[in-house]
Structure 1
Amino acid sequence: MELKALPKPLKFILFVSRVLLKLHKNQKKALRRTLSNTHGSSFKSQTLISEVDHTNLSQKTLIFDVEETLLRSSSVFPYFMLVAFEAGSLIRAFMLFALYPLLFLVDDELSIKIMVMVSFFGTKKDGFRVGSSVLPKFFLEDVGVEGFDVLRRGKKTVGVSKLPQIMVECFLKDYLEIDYVFGRELKVHGDYFVGLMNDNKNIIEHRINEMLEEDDQAIYFSNKFAKHDWISCSKEVYVVRNGEKKAWQILPKERYPKDLIFHDGRLAFRPEPLRMLVMFMWFPFAILLSIFRTIIALTMPYGALIPILAFTGLQLKLTNNNSNLDVTSDDHKQHKGRLYVCNHRTLLDPLYLSFGLKRPFAAVTYSLSRMSEILSPIKTVRLTRDRDQDAKTMDKMLRLGDLVVCPEGTTCREPYLLRFSPLFAELSDHIVPVALDSYVTMFYGTTAGGLKCLDPFLFMMNPNPVYRVQFLDQIHGVSSQASETKSTRFDIANYVQSEIGKTLDFECTSLTRKDKYLVLAGNEGFVNSTSNKR
């Protein structure tokens, strides 16, 4: 068929198609010329995994795009959602979630600007700790092994991110040991973020050039050609294909350069859009469920509340390895109760211990909100961190009945045990170690920088929270041991810690409450700075 015989509309479509095809070819040629002029013969279009394995990187500076070549997912929405939820509020998080469809209709740069505005506007700069206490956990869980292995081979590593620097710096420097981090800077007015970023044009390129020494051989890693202005800082360019990233494996926790022991925040899941939709739909029902579970725990006898709570989805798994719980000890002859020593997972630890044995206990604690103290169905007594006074208080409570103590002094979410305070070893001849573990899918029931009065309620808001309680063999305290085999209170505390660690497969550490709060809250974890410390 001749072209003249075609209808006019079809002729017009063919003409437009030819013009667009010609423009596309010219654009590709111009791009090739630009790359050639910029990098000369040193430009290499290679994939990160298949080609770099045979390249010696030990004397080279590796400049990498954090989101494109280190993280498995290129979506940054979950990280801004964490900022909106943890540093902002539930309402701010819902606003960001509602804007998610709009983010598809705009380009990548405008999308980030929108998320920055919603997440950061009005947030106080000095009080912002999400970047160091919350985000590292979620970033680490998205690191690809293949990309991480390549970056560890360089002499010097430089991470470049399109996210605000305050979000990525702690994760990259403290946990992955990246030498330099260059991200976006946020504008501040009167110590508050205004939700805007400084103009980034040529700034990062200038900062990278200042960092590079004359003899540095820089290599750039990205998954897109000539995407950034700072590509000119590199003599070689390696490209990561999206297909390769999808096949990457998650970096195992045992390979973290620095162990992730402490982290904060309420969300226990990666806040992808679909998961956030489920959370927002569940939230109203979760509040009612939490109130119902609390009322049952406060009002019903043990024989009735345990099956009712199990019916609502709350699981208690009890293991009793101690065959001597009913044996009369010297302490009982002295009218003393048993001392249950357990690791600390949530504020509900003593309560679940009470549920497990179906009898009430008294519990001593270092920090407890007034609301939790009022609502607690068991007796709770505050400790002062004054050694002599706390010893008298615990001895008095033991003479009134059984007592529960968590010698770690604070909770820890990860599979680690903090240092056990040895005070308990001097107070009783009948010490029962108890190994506790909990599991949640939606909300954490602990916090270092948030409202502690909400801890029990948020734990109860989970659809199927799980608690494991394991009683171990009893041990003797310092006073009852023979002089030739007598152990110190420190030996007993370390022994109890190690036995609980073996039971739970947790790692024992010498870290304390002070270490936790310095990492997560920037303080030592004391309400009153003049309080005595042991």
Structure 2
Amino acid sequence: MVMEEARATPDSVVSEFEGTILRNEDPFSYFMLVAFEASGLIRFAALLFLWSVITLLDVFSYKNAALKLMTFVATVGLREPEIQSVARAVLPKFYMDDVSIDTWKVYSSCKKKVVVTRMPRVMVEMFAKEHLKADEVIGSELINYNHRNKNLELRPLPVIFHDGRLVKRPTPPTSLLILTWIPLGIILAAIRIFLGSVLPFWTTPYVSKILGGQVIVKGKPPQPPAAGNSGVLFVCTHRTLMDPVVLSYVLERTKIKQQLSKGDLVVCPEGTTCREPFLLRFSGLFAELTDRIVPVAMNYRVGFFHATTARGWKGLDPIFFFMNPRPVYEVTFLNQLPVEATCSSGKRPHDVANYVQRILAATLGFECTNFTRRDKYRVLAGNDGTVSYLSFLDQLKKVVSTFEPFLH
């Protein structure tokens, strides 16, 4: 049943966001996300250190004062587009994890839906309208001084695209743990990257376990191409920028450029990463290259920091991956496609791509979508599509330069 904070008729509903649509009524962790993602570690730490003051204000019934203090520390000096960017790309994932399905069932049955929030409207509006299908969002205003789910009718639209570095919602204990871990994580990442660049491939599984990481390999990878034979095309799901590096370690093919000259090639037909259990639409271009296609299901698990981001310097992505206490990569080799499933037998590239997408999704337990890279950046950057693809390519070049020692 809808809690008492929501008022509903058969045609309309007015519901509070915190404590009703969301199970948790404390908005502190969402302000922590804004502080971290829009500003950085200093503001994140400052807000965490004020948590005890905010809690005391709440205890003594000064809830408005506590809310104003959180809002001020998290947003002062930020431009509205910066807050909107976090609200669009980061917050929806954490909101979705906290949605009360029982409340949602009643809420979604009404035609007219209004959401009331204690947080600034800009932090909630995008999620409420896009995922909860709210008609209106009522919240405080900041002053500027300068479809594929089968049970979709029973739950909010899933969050497929989201951004930001933090994996867990930064509650006060979690925030303190993250702050404490970051210096250790930086040192651990430097050690992992250094050892990975100088030690032989065969030592990787042992060194990874000693340093807390793990690479899980399932299936049997094909043998390296013999003299005179062309290599195979590894068609991978795209989870992080580490995908081709991890695959090269698993295959123990030491010189990537030399292997390319012999024929082996790794492609990620999605064109960009997706964090959630969904696969983006596969481009059919790879199917035109060869009939020797080996699908590879890539997945990863991290505890503190995401290894991909659409905002900021992408060269930091591998560093954030190795900063996690126990990063895990899973690599599953599937059987090479039979000739009758390739373009050699007359299949259209589009059909081959769809088939590969389906079998990889089934292996991982993911869902297929028709979304593309353009859709991802349109969602994360806003409907105006303000993300510059030239800027994106410039950042990609920086990532390549980060892995230059692996390529030569």
Sort the TM-score into its range (normalised by shorter chain): 0.7 to 0.9
CA distance 1:56–1:270, shift in 2 (3 Å): closer
Aligned runs of 1:53-202 on 2, under 5 Å?
A: 57-59=9-11, 61-106=12-57, 107-128=62-83, 129-190=85-146
Work out whether residues 49 and 146 of structure 1, in 8 Å CA contact, stay in contact via their aligned partners in 2. no
The answer for the alignment partner of 1:442 in structure 2 is 304
Name the aligned partner's letter for residue 261 of structure 1: I
Does residue 493 of the first structure (1) align with residue 353 of the second (2)? yes
Aligned runs of 1:231-242 on 2, under 5 Å?
A: none
The answer for the alignment partner of 1:393 in structure 2 is none
CA distance 1:451–1:480, shift in 2 (3 Å): closer
Name the aligned partner's letter for residue 64 of structure 1: S
Distance 1:530 1:93 in 2: 27
CA distance 1:287–1:529, shift in 2 (3 Å): closer
Does residue 326 of the first structure (1) align with residue 277 of the second (2)? no
CA distance 1:97–1:299, shift in 2 (3 Å): same
SS of residue in 2 equivalent to 1:449: coil
Distance 2:244 2:343 in 1: 28
CA distance 1:49–1:282, shift in 2 (3 Å): closer
Which structure has the greater CA radius of gyration? 1
Work out whether residues 224 and 231 of structure 2, in 8 Å CA contact, stay in contact via their aligned partners in 1. no
Partner deviation per Cα, 1:50-84 (whole Å, 9 max, x = no partner): 9x9xx99323x222222132221111100000000
The answer for the alignment partner of 1:193 in structure 2 is none
Distance 1:294 1:432 in 2: 28
RMSD (CA atoms)? 2.7
Work out whether residues 160 and 182 of structure 1, in 8 Å CA contact, stay in contact via their aligned partners in 2. yes
CA distance 1:480–1:334, shift in 2 (3 Å): farther
The answer for the alignment partner of 1:288 in structure 2 is 187
Name the aligned partner's letter for residue 133 of structure 1: A
Name the aligned partner's letter for residue 351 of structure 1: V
Farther off after superposition, 306-315 or 293-302: 306-315
Aligned runs of 1:213-292 on 2, under 5 Å?
A: 255-292=154-191
Q: TM-score, normalised by structure 1?
A: 0.67
Shift of 1:355: 1.8
Work out whether residues 164 and 186 of structure 1, in 8 Å CA contact, stay in contact via their aligned partners in 2. yes
Shift of 1:494: 1.2
SS of residue in 1 equivalent to 2:26: coil
The answer for the alignment partner of 2:328 in structure 1 is 466
Aligned runs of 1:25-44 on 2, under 5 Å?
A: none
Name the aligned partner's letter for residue 179 of structure 2: F
Partner deviation per Cα, 1:395-428 (whole Å, 9 max, x = no partner): x984434211111110000011111111111112
Does residue 408 of the first structure (1) align with residue 364 of the second (2)? no
Q: TM-score, normalised by structure 2?
A: 0.87
Distance 1:178 1:352 in 2: 42
Work out whether residues 296 and 309 of structure 1, in 8 Å CA contact, stay in contact via their aligned partners in 2. no
* From 203, 209, 212, the counterpart of 1:310: 209
Shift of 1:121: 1.1
SS of residue in 1 equivalent to 2:82: coil
SS of residue in 2 equivalent to 1:189: coil
Shift of 1:112: 1.1
Unaligned runs of 5+ in 1: 1-46, 191-251, 363-378, 380-395
Distance 2:75 2:249 in 1: 43
SS of residue in 2 equivalent to 1:187: coil
Aligned runs of 1:323-472 on 2, under 5 Å?
A: 325-326=222-223, 335-360=229-254, 362=256, 379=257, 398-472=260-334
SS of residue in 1 equivalent to 2:73: helix
The answer for the alignment partner of 1:28 in structure 2 is none
SS of residue in 1 equivalent to 2:144: strand
Name the aligned partner's letter for residue 438 of structure 1: Y
SS of residue in 2 equivalent to 1:436: strand
Shift of 1:49: 6.2
Work out whether residues 361 and 401 of structure 1, in 8 Å CA contact, stay in contact via their aligned partners in 2. no
SS of residue in 2 equivalent to 1:168: helix
Alignment: residue pair count? 381
Work out whether residues 3 and 20 of structure 2, in 8 Å CA contact, stay in contact via their aligned partners in 1. no
Work out whether residues 408 and 421 of structure 1, in 8 Å CA contact, stay in contact via their aligned partners in 2. yes
Work out whether residues 77 and 272 of structure 1, in 8 Å CA contact, stay in contact via their aligned partners in 2. yes
Distance 1:118 1:402 in 2: 52
Partner deviation per Cα, 1:486-520 (whole Å, 9 max, x = no partner): 11111111111111111101111111100000111
The answer for the alignment partner of 1:236 in structure 2 is none
CA distance 1:298–1:327, shift in 2 (3 Å): closer
Distance 1:413 1:321 in 2: 26
SS of residue in 1 equivalent to 2:294: strand
CA distance 1:423–1:476, shift in 2 (3 Å): farther
Shift of 1:116: 1.2
CA distance 1:410–1:498, shift in 2 (3 Å): same
Work out whether residues 426 and 479 of structure 1, in 8 Å CA contact, stay in contact via their aligned partners in 2. no
Shift of 1:126: 2.6
CA distance 1:308–1:264, shift in 2 (3 Å): same
Partner deviation per Cα, 1:23-55 (whole Å, 9 max, x = no partner): xxxxxxxxxxxxxxxxxxxxxxxx8469x9xx9
Partner deviation per Cα, 1:342-378 (whole Å, 9 max, x = no partner): 010011101111222222363xxxxxxxxxxxxxxxx
Farther off after superposition, 414-423 or 255-264: 255-264
Distance 1:496 1:85 in 2: 38
Distance 1:84 1:441 in 2: 20
